[in-house]
Amino acid sequence: MSTAERSAPHLQWSLVVPVKVLARAKTRMSRAAGPHREALALAVATDTVAAALRCARVAGVIVVTDDPRPAADLAALGARVVPDEPDAGLNPALVYGARRGREMFPGTGVGALSADLPALRPAELARVLDAAAASPEAFVPDAAGIGTTLYTARPGVPFAPAFGGGSRAAHRARGARELLLDGVDSVRRDVDTPDDLRAATELGLGPRTAAVAALLSPAPAGTDR
């Protein structure tokens, strides 16, 4: 690597994080979380956004939500909060958030990041974003190899996410580069089920998720990061 390459600035990113209305979030955790389900959903989203904001490659985080409770908490962390427009499903909401992100943070790449990554580590996210910068569009598959936890588009590239059932295959079919890096488990480990939460716990939960997880019965072990 040349001196010029080593000193070249890294591409910065604006990340769009969609956050569901808490009353409809984490429904597959209902039995395990009981009365703590909404608190768990908020804690997971908060730890995800907090980690993203600490990432050196992230210029800003745009949260798309219509729920005032996470809107207030995530804005307090430093995220920019926008409403769910045009209220036509996940991908249109992400496209709207990306457009706002490009307005707020001109010149950045844009990514859509899952709000369900409570073990997310900023350094691992930075590695993924640096790899994504080499391709017009890229994505990270989830730990199950079915969904997607991160989709990215470089500056000037149309932002065309394909989240939903089987989004890994959908993103590949659209020509996005699949990023399969070693040592970035925290970027792939989304949490939708009790088994997912146990796996994330082994990686090390963020502090807010760890506090709520400790209230669940039985509480997951090893919640220190």
Binding-site annotation, residues for phosphoenolpyruvate: 148, 164, 167
- Of 43, 49, 47, 44, give the one whose Cα is nearest residue 64: 49
Binding site feature residues:
148, 164, 167
- Of 207, 184, 203, 185, give the one whose Cα is nearest residue 44: 207
Give the dihedral sign, CA 147/125/97/82.
Answer: positive
Please give the structure tokens belonging to residue 56: 């050196």
CA torsion, points 77, 99, 130, 134, in degrees to nearest 10?
180
Instruction: Tell me the C-alpha distance between 18 and 150, whole Å.
Output: 12
